[in-house]
Every structure is written in C-alpha cells, then in structure tokens.
A and B are shown apart, each in its own frame.
Chain A
C-alpha cells in the first residue's frame, strides 16, 4: 500500500505531527511530547520529516532510487565505463539464468535475427559454388548450351543461373502455416486448380509426423525438413512457434527454400504475440494470406519436343546443297572435258593416243601430221576457263599428202578402204606378262601380211603416197606405269619384228608402246593387245577417212 502523502515541510512548524503509526512512534499525544517534537523540529529544521522518512521507510528509498536510477546510469555511462564493468558479471549471470530457466524464450527472440544472418552466409557460400559451376558449364559447348547461352544473354542473366532455371521444374501446390505447439492450422493457401487434402488435418498430421521423427531419433535441435512421397515434397520450415509447410511438386529450387525461410521469419517477427496467445481462433492469421501466397510459385520447363531443330536442318540442307552443287559441277566439268576431247579427235591430222583427265586439268597426247594445225592453235581455240588443257603433240611424218593424179576408179577406192578396214580390225592378243605371240595368235600373221602386201600394191596403183603403218602395243592395268610402258612397247616391237622378218620394209613401220590406257570395263585379256593403224589419214574429200576403230579406248 502506498503511504499517505508526504507532508509539505515548508510550513512544517504549524503542521500537526504525522500519523504516529507511520512515523514509528506510538505514544499518546501529550503536551510534553509536543514540546519535544517542536524542539526537534527547531533543531533539524526543514529536513526533519524527510530525514525521518529516510530512516523509517525502505520502500521510500526504492521509489526515490528508481526515479534517479535511469538518469544516474546514463550519466555514469557517459563519464566512464566503470558501471558497465561492474554490471557485466551480473548481467552475464542473469542471462545465463534466464536461458537455463527457459531456453525457448531466447530462441524466440533471436530467431528472426539469426535466420537472415545465417542465410546470408549460406547464400554467399552457394554463390561461390555457382561461380565454379559456371566456369564448368562455360567449357561445355553443345548445340543446346549455345542456344541457352544466347537466351541467357538476351535475358541479361548469368549463364549458370539460366541453366539452373531451365532444368528446374516445380509447382508449389499448398502452403500451410501451422501452430507448432498444438499442430493446429493457422492459415493456408493453395494454388488454383490443385486438389489438396484437408489443410486442417494435414497440418495436424505434419506436426504428428515431425514429433514422431523427433521422438524416434531423439534429436532435440534438428527438425524434420522434408517429407517426400512420389513427386510431392513437403518442405517444413520450423520456427519456434510456427511451422511453414510448403507442398511442392517437382524439384525444389533454392530460391523457394529461401523465400519460405524468409516468410516464416517474417511471420515470427510480426505475429509474435498472436502466436504465443493462440487459443484456437485463426482470425488474427488471416492477414498472413498475402505473405503465404507469395510462396505459391511455379516454373515449367519449356516444351522442347515440339520445337523443330532448325539449326540442324539448315546445316544439313546447306551440306546437302553443297554436295549437289559439287556433283553438278563435276558433271559439267566432265561434259566439258568430253567436248574438248571430241573436238581434238575431230581435228584433221590429229590422232589422240592418250588422255589424262584430272580434277581440273586435261592432258592429251596426240600424234599429228606435219601439215595439221599446231597443238597450240588447237588448244587456244578450245581453251575454257575451267579446264587447264595441255596437248603434248608429236609430229609424225605421213609422207606427202596424196596428190590426186587422175580420179581413181570408185571400185579401186572401195577396195582400198576395205583393205585398210580389215588391217585395222586386226588385233593381236597377248598372255599376261608375255610379249610373245601364242600359237593361235601367230595364225593371224600370214593373212595380215597378205592384206598388207595387197594394200601396198593398191597404193602404188593409185599413185598414193607411200604407205605407213603404225603398230601400237597396249598393256593391262596390272603392274607399274613404267612396266606397262615397256611391256606395251615390246609387244608392238614383237609384231613389227615379225613383219620385217616377212619382208615388210621397216621404213613403213612405226612401233609404239602406249602403256595402259583402257577403261576398267574392258577385260584384262583384251587390254593386252597390239593394234594397227594405217597412215596417212586421208582427207574426207577423197572419202578415205582414217578412223580410230583399232583403238579400243574409243567406243
């Protein structure tokens, strides 16, 4: 009880004495006492009553000190640190006592502060990890990563972050705020069009499960963080007074965990008293709706099956059209070469004896009569940009051009033509690696010499220039080029030797080794041969054309 008001000491002399019970005196009010009191008042003056009170009332002391204590502490702290030093052990002990007595209290207080600090530290560590992940990813260059790189660049975010986003797929279906002690639901939100369980039952169940796990594994500090069944995962953010349960379908991104942690901290900070006073009435927690709704996030992976691999298609098309173009060019080049070849063959006085077709060059070897056009002028007439044409020519003396002395009889000429044809159709075949004629081939010799003699006679009758025949040897494709050259030369010489042995003048014989020039579709046996050309080629106006029928490489 508070005591009666302190007497105003200014006019204390006239004042009646205080209630004796309060003053601690208990005597009957007598005049002697009054006198004594007056004397005391005179001696002690104005301070009498307060001094009196000071002695008799501790409660008064406490009240007075309590009034000046804050100010005194403030002043002392400003002057020096001695008060702090003096108080430190006391405060330490008080805090220690408080924690021992009720650990929850301190947890409740520091939870909203510690949470963000710890998360910051963890986030820092994580970001460092992501950095190294970033460099790792940067080294891999696939078509998809290239595509993502471009998209990340366009959306202005680090590549690693973009990759993480692309690979994460999730949807928060339900968020529950649960009172930790009772397991009762405080508030819940759920994503639209999601089939959810009765949130009130779920929240009790979650509490029961968490308790069960805690009891079973007797872990006082650790709490259950995740419950997973199938693709649904429930994340529990356990605060001292409330639990935030986030039901997620899919892979949970760090972003969400952070968000949920921040949410439960915010709720603890804002609803501290409501949480501790909770008696089953959920109304005060309806205002958590917006914060809880912020956790309802989702992310879908871009449908990639529907997309056409355009880049791949373009690359393929380009490759294909390049091939087509190349093939076409090669084809055209082939045509061009053939054209050139044809016109050289048709050049009067030219005999093509070898063709060397290359990727971009065409080399021909020809024999030509002295009066024919020079190889250079023929070449210049034919030259095309795309083909590097070279003509290696050998001038062969065919004797004087036929000077027509009188018109030969038509019959004679036809006979001449027939003889030339017959001779030129004669082909001698050789065995593999052999330069000698076999018995059967030798049988062709008498008829051949006979025909040749007839031709010589006709030439003389018709007063044509002297006859010349060219013996050409060929080799099959087995063996080296040089080897083939010499074999074919020897084969030609074999025939020429037989002819000279049979009194054919060596002056009219030219033996020539051609080597191997045939197409592969010609049988090897046929490739090993010697053919004959009758020279000179007669101009077309006397109708004696010298065709190349004896040359198999002509079709």
Chain B
C-alpha cells in the first residue's frame, strides 16, 4: 500500500498528429519546452493514483518530423508502455501504424501499445472506418478515439495504458 511506482512511457506517431497536444492536455506541468526541442525529446511528468498506489508517469514525447529516423533505440529504451498516436483524418495513418508497430515489437518486445485515433472532433473529415480499426486490432493494438482539442478520452487513454501495463485498478 502507498507505493510510488515510476514508469517511462513514450508517445510515438507521425508529425502533427497531436502527440504534444495530448500530453499538454494530460499533464499540467511541462518541463522547459524550449530546452528539450534541441535534443528532440520533451519529457513531462504526471502522477496518477491507482488504488492506494501512485503511478508516476514520465512521458517521453518525440519532437520531429520523420518519426522513423527519429525513433531511436535510446528514446524507447526502458519504456513500459507506448501510446501510438494517429490522425483519424488521414487515411495513410494505417500504413504508418503498421510500420511503427513492427519497429516497436522489435525494440520493446512485450510492451503494451495503445493506439490513439486523435482529432476525433473533426468528424466530417474522419477517414478511419471499421475495417481499418480491425486491422489495428489484428496487430494487437487496442484503439481509442481521442481529441486533444476537446479533451475527450485523453484521461481514459492514459488510464487504459496504465491498465495494459498491469498497474490498473483491476491489475495484478
């Protein structure tokens, strides 16, 4: 009871899908934006209470345009969970997701991945249908529709990641 457990989690996904926006929405305190852009990483901290324990999430957010060249082993190393963020208004998102999943399963075998289909507020531009969702599920990725703009499902997204990491209320 009353334990503090620290975990490293990573935000992964193409440029401009809303990774940073999601983290900003989820975390109130942000550690020096300016400094970290130089090294391509932004790290934020968020503590959530699960039962009696406190889970301290150190959220590593990648900064950059080309997710594949910038997804360095050092960025992912030691992560306990990954949020794979996609833009629901872009159809190409699915291909990217498949490729990213391949990289992640190599670098972080056995680490849970939650897929976030972001920008759910842009319903009239929504491109990802049921068939695409089923593709993702086949890869072992649970998906959640989120909106960093409205805040919809943002907390839920992080909660389900914590659950998948085996730390949730129903966890071990």
Residues of A within 8 A of B (CB): 179, 181-185, 198, 200-201, 204-205, 208-209, 211-212, 214-215, 279-283
Contacts and interface: CB of A to CB of B under 8 A. Distances in A.
Contacts of A280: 5-7, 56, 80
Interface in B1-49: 3-8, 29, 31, 36, 39-41, 43-45
Contacts of A208: 36, 39, 41, 43, 60, 74-75
Interface of B: 3-8, 29, 31, 36, 39-41, 43-45, 56, 58, 60, 72, 74-75, 77-80
Given A201-B43, A204-B58, A181 B78 contact: yes
Contacts, number: 72
B3 A281 contact: yes
Contacts of B58: 182-184, 200-201, 204
A24 B75 CA distance: 59
Contacts of A184: 6-8, 58, 78
Contacts of B77: 181-182, 211
Contact of B6 (A198, A209, A282): A282
A205 B36 contact: yes
Nearest to A281: B5
A215 B6 CA distance: 25
Nearest to A211: B74
Contacts of A182: 6-8, 58, 77-80
Contacts of B40: 212
10 contacts: A181-B78, A182-B79, A184-B6, A200-B45, A201-B58, A205-B31, A212-B41, A214-B74, A279-B5, A281-B4
A215 B58 CA distance: 21
* Nearest 7 CB-CB pairings of A with B: A182-B78, A211-B74, A181-B78, A212-B39, A280-B5, A184-B6, A280-B6
A304 to B, nearest CB: 37
A211 B72 contact: yes
A156 to B, nearest CB: 47
A229 to B, nearest CB: 10
Contacts of A179: 78
A246 B164 CA distance: 35
A199 to B, nearest CB: 10
A282 B7 CA distance: 11
A200 B36 CA distance: 15
B8 A183 contact: yes
Nearest to B40: A212
A269 B17 CA distance: 45
B13 to A, nearest CB: 18
Contacts of B7: 182, 184, 280
Nearest to B79: A182
Given A182-B8, A208-B60, 5 more contacts: A182-B79, A183-B8, A201-B44, A205-B31, A211-B72
Contacts of A205: 31, 36, 43
A283 B56 CA distance: 14
Contacts of A279: 5
Nearest to B77: A181
Contacts of B78: 179, 181-184
Contacts of A212: 39-41, 74
A198 B30 CA distance: 11
Contacts of A215: 72, 74
Most B-side CB within 10 Å, residue of A200, A208, A211, A280: A280
Nearest to A283: B3
A201 B45 contact: yes
Nearest to A201: B31
A212 B44 CA distance: 17
A204 B8 contact: yes
A280 B5 CA distance: 5
Nearest to A180: B78
Contacts of A204: 8, 43, 45, 58, 60
A179 B78 CA distance: 9
A200 B6 contact: yes
A181 B74 CA distance: 9
B3 to A, nearest CB: 6
B64 to A, nearest CB: 12
A280 B56 CA distance: 9
Most A-side CB within 10 Å, residue of B6, B29, B31, B44: B6
A334 to B, nearest CB: 81
A198 B79 contact: no
A43 B5 CA distance: 72
Contacts of B29: 198
Given A281-B3, A281-B5, A209 B39 contact: yes
Contacts of B5: 279-281
A279 B58 CA distance: 13
A209 B74 CA distance: 10
Contacts of B45: 198, 200-201, 204
Nearest to A186: B6
A279 B8 CA distance: 10
Nearest to B165: A280
A181 to B, nearest CB: 4
A181 B77 CA distance: 6
A184 B56 CA distance: 10
A214 B75 CA distance: 12
A204 to B, nearest CB: 5
